Structure 1
Amino acid sequence: MPMPPKPIEMISELIARPSISSTSVQWNQPNLGVIELLHSWLEGLGFSCEVMQVPGEPGKANLIATLGQGPGGLVLSGHTDTVPCDPELWKSDPFKVVERDQKLYGLGTCDMKGFLALAVEAAKTYKDTPLKAPLIILATADEESSMSGAKALVDAGRPKARVAVIGEPTGLKPIRMHKGMMMEAVRIEGQSGHSSDPSLGANALEAMHSVMGELLTIRQELQANYRNSSFKIDVPTMNFGCIHGGDNPNRICGQCEMEFDLRPLPGMSMDGLRNMISERLHPIEAKHRVELNVRSLFPGIPPFEQSETEFVSVVEKLTGHKAQAVAFGTEAPFLQQMGMETLVLGPGSINQAHQPDEYLALDQLAPTLDLLHNLINRYCVEGC
């Protein structure tokens, strides 16, 4: 098998294979092109590769590539998908890497195909090195939409290792905590009728007014009862994102739906929050003579916290940064469910992610490779 090309060439080839994931059918794409490319490179380095199809998701797959055998070891993990983009807002083609101002521009350069390429580059050094514990490079599907790839891994119970690094763009600062993310919808079915006689119907918009008031009360209670000073915004947040209802000013509103997101702190249960919200909103049905349904728009991302273990101390020493907390969600809680100590740590900035003209600065490449070599030496070559 041929050896993988140089890092910038690898990044360019990965970016050139579109792999958008989205809840909207018109945007959603397979990720197999990226998986096949990584598969060929890693197999060429002597990795044992397993392509895991994601159940119920045609054209979507994870890649588990393993060098070495035995318990313990290190997982270097990255998602293969990107968010959708509008090419008209870019200065260059988002699917072609362009270098300017000492930056690599392209969709997924920092979030996070760049990290996957650098993980492969770091692995080249160990092609013929005896390892006391395995090095596993993990590439996942659909992190940007459903987390179906990470959930498939949890269901399968693999991979297994001692520690894991997820290379999301953190400016090479370790992250050991993040909030969860829930996206919920409340739908109210009332009864339409002529607005001149309110008794002819049941106004879904008025019922939704009560729902919003109760949710604001719940938000206030949650923020009074839960706080974590590690986060810049140290309380759980709730945002009312969109609302749709009714069709005419002189008609009693028969239907209304609102969508909101809730960001719980570590230690808060998503199932507990959903049950509490449903119980608190249920009495509104009888009061307004409507039918009320609360549903989840997707299963959600659990909040994540990695305790301050020796692994965290090692990474803090290697990076020169104390482990931090962030508000955005990752696959970390899913890898943690499989028994791995997990940190989020990678090149680039989250400020560039999900934006036109996304880029990865060239000065991030060498420090990332140096960090990965140190981690592989410690947890795979030495088997600590």
Structure 2
Amino acid sequence: MPLPTMKEQFAALIAAPSVSCTQPALDQSNRAVIDLLATWLGDLGFACDIQQVTPGKFNLLASFGSGPGGLVLAGHSDTVPFDESLWKTDPLKLTEVDGRWVGLGSCDMKGFFALVIEAIKPMLDKPFKQPLLILATCDEESSMAGARALAEAGRPLGRAAIIGEPTGLKPIRLHKGVMMERIHILGRSGHSSDPSLGHSALEAMHDVITELKGLRQQWQLEYRNPQFSVPHPTMNFGCIHGGDNPNRICGQCSLEFDLRPLPGMDPHMLRAAIMQKLQPLAELHQVKIDYAPLFPEAPPFEQDADAELVRVAERLTGHQAQAVAFGTEAAYLQRLGCETLVLGPGDIACAHQPGEHLEMSRLEPTVLLLRQLVEYYCLTPATVR
């Protein structure tokens, strides 16, 4: 059976639902996407290893050639949830509109895999000096469980890795981390006419927020990186819930907040600093304070500016490597020994929203760039570089 065309592959990937979401009612398996990729890559001669991460969730690692070194072309196989009523086209159908390919995952980022296959098809009859690996992960849009499982397994990948997230074909060598945290305070309710009858969780939370704001100010003075449009770490108090009636002492209060650390800021140290502030407040207000992440953190990422991959990508794209605020799986691949960059054809401005699309003018330049990267890392002898 002949391999589908690039557009047919693109359409098939979009048509295979693969939403990952923290809400179980919206969460879906990504197996259909993994099976499509494994079939196409297997037909091209890749050795395909499908790994179950959690029930219904799978990673794919496809390899061509063998030995150490080589290049990893990576991306995630899932999408965010969608509200079909807000789309002007069917989100699960590839639609061409005004020079754009529109569909869920076209930009972020299932469509990247069709471009990878298009790029490598004419190269596979050449002698590979170093292996080419294609990685598709699960649950990047929620828990990042796929990338974390790879990092924890510790199996070395290639010498260099490109993650095809939407960057407008500009190389990205650093991004902030993402920490989503929650603090729950259990006090004791009582009649509001006599404060001695209870311990207010809401008043305790007031002091907690004051301490967190103090830490935020401290960290923003201590850490700064002008390469980011927002050059300091941020902390956003996203939602708060507590109490039930004005005439009752508040017995429970919960806060959820978002912390975006810069590269060089250790999430474990940040949590330890927060915990140190919470313990005295629990004693002062005679309440129980439970602090925990909502999800495992996505670490901040930074690749050295003088790394070989950075220099190669800057030369091929004509753009200096930059920084972005959104998070990716880059730090996990870096942990496996890969020089890593984020570099893909989409635009982050249209990701995670109705009408997600990929400009058709980016198709050919992306295919050319990927071929140049494969040529450099997989076909050229190391002594020539």
Match for residue 310 of structure 1?
Answer: 308
Taking the TM superposition and a 5 Å limit, the aligned residue runs for 1:1-384 are: 2-54=1-53, 57-158=54-155, 160-308=157-305, 309-384=307-382
Q: Pick which of 281-290 and 313-322 moved more.
A: 281-290
- Cα distance in 2 for partners of 1:218, 1:170 equals 32
- Cα distance in 2 for partners of 1:333, 1:112 equals 18
SS in 2 for 1:19: coil
Contact 1:64 1:159 in 2 (8 A): no
Aligned-residue CA RMSD in angstroms? 0.9
Contact 1:180 1:265 in 2 (8 A): yes
- Cα distance in 2 for partners of 1:276, 1:322 equals 36
- Aligned AA (2:127): P
SS in 1 for 2:304: coil
Quote the offset at 1:383 in angstroms: 4.1
| Unaligned stretches of 5+ residues in structure 2 | none
- Cα distance in 2 for partners of 1:29, 1:159 equals 29
- Aligned AA (1:36): D
- Cα distance in 1 for partners of 2:158, 2:275 equals 39
In the alignment of these two chains, the number of paired residues is 381
- Cα distance in 1 for partners of 2:154, 2:199 equals 50
Quote the offset at 1:34 in angstroms: 0.1
SS in 1 for 2:296: coil
| TM-score, length basis structure 2 | 0.98
Q: Pick which of 19-28 and 123-132 moved more.
A: 123-132
Deviation sequence 1:129-187 (CA, Å, 0-9, x none) = 21000111110000000011001111222351110000000000000000011111111
Deviation sequence 1:44-72 (CA, Å, 0-9, x none) = 10001100110xx2111100011111111
- Aligned AA (2:377): Y
| TM-score, length basis structure 1 | 0.98
Deviation sequence 1:261-314 (CA, Å, 0-9, x none) = 111111110000001100112111111111111111111001100002122111
Contact 1:62 1:149 in 2 (8 A): yes
Q: Pick which of 336-345 and 190-199 moved more.
A: 190-199
Change beyond 3 A, Cα 1:91–1:257: same
Change beyond 3 A, Cα 1:159–1:83: farther
- Cα distance in 2 for partners of 1:3, 1:306 equals 40
| Unaligned stretches of 5+ residues in structure 1 | none
Deviation sequence 1:102-134 (CA, Å, 0-9, x none) = 001110000001111111111211222210001
Contact 2:156 2:337 in 1 (8 A): no
- Aligned AA (1:77): A
Contact 2:164 2:342 in 1 (8 A): yes
- Aligned AA (2:263): P
Deviation sequence 1:194-220 (CA, Å, 0-9, x none) = 111111111111110000000000000
- Aligned residues: percent identity? 59
- Cα distance in 1 for partners of 2:365, 2:191 equals 68
